[in-house]
Amino acid sequence: MSLLDSIIQFALNVLDQSGYFGIFFLMVLESATLPIPSEVVLPLAGYLVYQGHIEFWLAVIVASAGSIVGTLIDFGLGYYLGRPAILRYGKAVRLNEKHLQISEKWFAKYGPITVLLARFVPLIRTLVAFPAGIAKMGTVKFIVYSFVGIFVWDALLIYLGEQVGANYTAIVDNLHNYFTPIEIAAFIIALLGMYLIFRRTTKADEILQKQGESTEQTK
């Protein structure tokens, strides 16, 4: 049995036995950077919606709440303990320094909006909480930005799981084939959004700089 098969079976067992609590629990683990991908948990939750065992919007809310709790754990590690503690924690969850550096570069380049847009990008999705914490981003702003991205992502994957629920075998056997194109599209959209924000910020800085130079010349 492959690692993916093991994760799918574990997620299925938890969801079958615990329902909403299982969704919450698994999403806490996923957002705390443990190897429980949302691309597995949420489509399976969608399958339970298709079966009529759980309600769609309640499942989305529960999943999002679990994601917020999990990401706040990572945010708190960065905020209160700093980078060395994150790297020590990372050894237990297969997080290495290279992964952390990638998320740090994103956050350093694009600022707080990264917390929202990164929720649609593989790998960066959960890791972005660490540099946000290290940078002492405002907790309320972090939660708001995180929740917007998390809610949209969770709703999308649960909905898609519900839509293909008629073919349970397809969900389990071809899970990555279903969602890899979505992740690629989300990645492109996120990059485009960051580019536009970066361009707007750069232009604003240039205008302020020119205004400052004009003021100096007037004096």
128: containing domain: 3-218
Q: What's the pLDDT score for residue 19?
A: 85
Contact call for residues 64 and 23 (beta carbons, < 8 A): no
Q: What's the pLDDT score for residue 63?
A: 94
pLDDT at residue 178 above 50? Answer: no
Q: In the chain, what is the straight-line distance between the N-terminal and C-terminal CA atoms, in Å?
A: 75
Sign of the four-CA dihedral 69, 75, 81, 87: positive
pLDDT at residue 29 above 80? Answer: yes
Residue of 145, 162, 150, 153 whose CA lies nearest to 182: 153
Residue of 35, 98, 122 whose CA lies nearest to 70: 35
Tokens of 203: 């232009």
Number of Cβ atoms within 10 Å of the Cβ of 204: 10
Q: What's the pLDDT score for residue 150?
A: 92
* pLDDT tens-digit readout, 101-141: 777 787 777 777 888 887 887 777 788 888 888 888 889 99
pLDDT at residue 58 above 90? Answer: yes
Q: How many domains, the chain?
A: 1
Average pLDDT over residues 206-215: 56
Three-state DSSP state, 174: coil
pLDDT at residue 203 above 60? Answer: no
Confidence bin at 79 (pLDDT 50/70/90): confident
**CA gap 171, 44 in Å, rounded:** 8
**CA gap 69, 62 in Å, rounded:** 11
